[in-house]
Chain A
Amino acid sequence: MRIFLEFEKPVAELEAKIEELRRMVGDDSISVADEVAKLSEKADRQLRTIYGKLTAWQKTQVARHPDRPKASDYISALITDFTPLAGDRAFADDAAVLGGLGRFRGRSVMVLGTEKGSDTESRVKHNFGMAKPEGYRKARRLIELAGRFGIPVLCFVDTSGAYPGIDAEARGQAEAIARSIEACLGAPVPVVAAVIGEGGSGGAVALASGDAVLMLEHAVYSVISPEGCAAILWKDSAQAPAAAEAMRITAEDLKRLKLIDGIIPEPVGGAHRDPQAAIAAIAAAIDAALQPLLKLDGATLISRRRAKFLEMGREALA
């Protein structure tokens, strides 16, 4: 069963009608085939129109879509010889942060990803993609390991944010995030990050302080959730759509503000409609970002990365 978002309702109705026609009549009926083709075309056109002008809040819904491909989907499709590496060597292994060595197009890479899970069981296992200090400490350990061996780092970012819990605070959530950012910035190897769904605040930037930060077309990257921002500034979390708009969290806006480096196009109707197409697009974009970085030595990478971040914020929207 396909899950439709509220603004996809016209498409949902058309697709339901198509489904109904197909079920009612045998597939040998030509007139039905014509009708189905016509409806399909209409549904496709609708989908294109809707997805051509998604609002920031609608994109937030797409970014959080339960069927949207997760970090683990990209890793299993794009990384061969993937060998997961666990643990922060101090307290625990955090399943919200996937990490390990593998090959991307034949080249050895260190892969990190915040994983939301795709069904109830895996969502609970991965804590809904909300990492604890041990997750960020694992990330830092693996980034440093990659640095020692000259291996590029690829990060798939998809998190509503770092886990807000008593245990996380007690074990130094803030310190763990700060150290992970520090590790990204100090890595003498290329660090390429792709925001594939939600880029939620400090929990996202911990894995996205890289040379190339890419975003899927309908991903969002934000300092606080639209609901959270609305609750604080509008004193009403129902104002989330307005907050999403005002905070400029879409890939397009962030590219204009020069806070990200590239936008990866999604298939019509979002990555969840055609995961294979999304996977292929991400692979091409990561490769294109990685190639020029591979030619640079460690010191050059670090100083260019610094310069890039230090320049941020000089750009204003007209």
Chain B
Amino acid sequence: MNWLTEYVRPKIRTLFGQRDVPDNLWGQCSACQQMVFNAELDKNLRVCSHCGHHMRVKATQRLSWTFDGGKHTRIDLPKPPVDPLKFRDSKRYVDRLKDYREKTHLDDAIVVAHGTIGGHRAVVAVMSFDFMGGSMGSAVGEGIVAAAKLAVLQDAPLIVFTASGGARMQEGTISLMQMPRTVIATQMVKEKGLPFITVLTDPTTGGVTASFTMLGDIQIAEPGAEIGFAGARVIEQTVREKLPEGFQRSEYLLSHGILDLVVKRAEMNATLGRLIGLLRVKQLDAA
């Protein structure tokens, strides 16, 4: 299998700290509009020091914050056919993909890596909202399946950080089929007795929510993340009512019994490490 052979000779791209240096010193929090010192923001894992708003972050940043000491090994992912439908709206899908690849330095909206969390081996997949709104097409589906296979191979839990506007419309019904495909990935992990943990970040909506995301053994969200199936605007148009305060936010889902925990970014590594340790009793007993 292609991705497996590639995985044996992984490209080591261990990341320590920030790669991107912001070109201005000050930024503005999108939630409270207060000015924030960029250097401080990075130290704060891009959480606003005034209001606690968890800003959207790059997938590569997320990887380095999640693993112990930031150390991890990224794996190459399988490459499904590009633009299987020869899709074109105002722009050709192939051109759109090219632009996003240049802009984000990613192949598609997902990265997968392995390393340790709280001393436990773990496989982590992170979706990138920067890449076409984190939309799920074949490449993302393949990424989730590959991450699941890697977790099984390494006898490690699988953790997926989600961030997605939903399906990749430019791949038509192929994108819809990523729902059952990623559900199969969760089954592969679970039937080996391995924990499957999802961490929902802002935003997680549509077909991504309604497939693997909602099948976590543990479901965590970052504070204030927008999470739902249907978009707020569609709902408003359908029901012709004002949406309730905090609707489709992490805390709303927590109080409605859909999530286990809402965890701050700074506490994510420790929480994940603790949970894995608590869940993997069998493994520790055997060791």
Residues of A in contact with B (beta carbons under 8 Å apart)? 162-166, 168-175, 177-179, 181-182, 184-186, 201-202, 205-206, 209, 221-224, 229, 232-234, 242-243, 246-249, 254, 257, 259, 306, 309-310, 312-317
Q: Which residues of A contact B181 (CB under 8 A)?
A: 309-310, 312-313
Q: Is the CB of A168 within 8 A of B169?
A: no
B81–A205 touching, CB < 8 Å: no
Q: List 5 additional contacts besides A165-B230, A178-B211; criterion CB under 8 Å.
A: A177-B210, A179-B214, A202-B210, A247-B169, A248-B85
From B184, B210, B238, B247, A174 is in contact (CB under 8 Å) with: B210
Which A residues touch B186, using CB under 8 A?
182
**Interface residue B187 (Cβ < 8 Å from any Cβ of A):** yes
For A172, give the chain B residue with the smallest CB separation. B258
Complex formed: what's the CA distance from A317 to B84 in Å?
A: 6
B interface secondary structure, majority: helix
Question: Could you tell me if A222 and B141 are in contact, using CB atoms closer than 8 angstroms?
Answer: no
Which residues of A have CB within 8 Å of B229? Answer: 162, 164, 168-169, 173-174, 177, 202
B83 to chain A: closest residue by CB = A316
Choice from A177, A232, A314 contacting B80 with Cβ under 8 Å: A314
A221 vs B177: C-alpha distance when bound (angstroms): 11
Q: Which residues of B234-287 are within 8 A (CB) of A? A: 234-235, 238-239, 241, 243-244, 247-248, 252, 256-258
24 contacts between A and B (CB under 8 A): A162-B210, A164-B235, A166-B241, A166-B244, A169-B229, A172-B256, A172-B257, A173-B230, A182-B183, A185-B183, A221-B176, A222-B172, A223-B172, A223-B175, A246-B85, A246-B88, A246-B89, A247-B87, A247-B172, A254-B173, A257-B84, A306-B187, A309-B177, A310-B184
> B-side interface residues toward A, CB under 8 Å?
80-81, 83-90, 138, 141-142, 145, 167, 169-181, 183-184, 186-187, 206-207, 209-215, 228-231, 234-235, 238-239, 241, 243-244, 247-248, 252, 256-258
CA distance A202 to B180 in the complex (A): 10
The 8 Å CB contact of B187, one of A163, A169, A186, A246, is A186
Number of A-B contacts (CB under 8 A): 176
Instruction: Tell me the bound Cα distance from A171 to B229 in angstroms.
Output: 11
Cross-chain contact B176 with A201 (CB below 8 angstroms): yes
User: In the complex, what distance in Å separates the CA atom of A181 from the CA atom of B178?
Assistant: 11
- Report whether B214 and A316 are in contact in the complex, using a CB–CB cutoff of 8 Å: no
**B180 nearest CB neighbor, chain A only:** A209
Which residues of chain B have C-beta atoms less than 8 A from A169's C-beta?
A: 228-230, 235, 247-248
Q: Is the CB of B238 within 8 A of A165?
A: yes
Closest 10 CB pairs of A and B: A164-B230, A316-B84, A174-B209, A316-B81, A313-B138, A247-B172, A175-B214, A174-B210, A233-B89, A174-B229
Residues of B within 8 A of A232 (CB): 169
User: How distant is the Cα of A164 from the Cα of B228 in the complex, in angstroms?
Assistant: 10
Given contacts A182-B187, A185-B187, A234-B89, contact A222 B81 (CB under 8 A): no
A178→B216 CA distance, assembly (Å): 11
How far apart are the CA atoms of A201 and B206 in the complex, in Å? 10
Q: Contact check, A165 vs B235: say whether CB atoms are below 8 A apart.
A: yes
Which of A179, A234, A309 has most B Cβ within 10 Å? A309
User: In the complex, are the beta carbons of A209 and B173 less than 8 A apart?
Assistant: no
Question: In angstroms, how far is the closest chain A Cβ from the Cβ of B111?
Answer: 19
CA distance A237 to B199 in the complex (A): 34
- Chain A nearest CB, measured from B256 CB (Å): 5
Knowing A165-B235, A168-B230, A309-B180, say if A178 contacts B174 (CB, 8 Å).
no
Q: Which residue of B lies closest to A210 (CB)?
A: B180
Whole-angstrom CA separation of A246 from B215 in the bound complex: 31
Q: Is the CB of B248 within 8 A of A257?
A: no
Q: Closest residue to A201 on the B side, CB-wise? A: B176
Query: Is B176's CB under 8 angstroms from A202's CB?
Result: yes
Measured CB to CB, the nearest residue on chain B to A170 is: B256
Give bound CA distance, A48 to B173, whole Å: 28
When the two chains form their complex, are residues B234 and A164 in contact, meaning their CB atoms are under 8 A apart? yes
CB <8 Å contact, B84 and A223: no
Which residue of A164, A165, A172 contacts B214 across the interface (Cβ within 8 Å)? A172
Of A164, A221, A233, the residue contacting B238 (CB under 8 A) is A164
Considering the chains assembled together, what is the distance between the CA atoms of A122 and B228 in angstroms?
Answer: 29
Which chain A positions have C-beta within 8 A of B167?
201, 223-224
Complex Cα gap A178–B243 (Å) = 24
A184 to B184, CA, bound (A): 11
> In the complex, what distance in Å separates the CA atom of A222 from the CA atom of B176?
7
A268 to B80 CA separation, bound complex (whole angstroms): 38
Complex CA gap A174/B174 in Å reads: 19
| Residue among B212, B235, B248 with most chain A CB within 10 A | B235
Cα-based distance from A257 to B173 in the complex (angstroms) = 9
Which A residues are in CB contact (< 8 Å) with B214?
172, 174-175, 177-179
Q: Chain A contacts of B88 at CB under 8 A?
A: 246
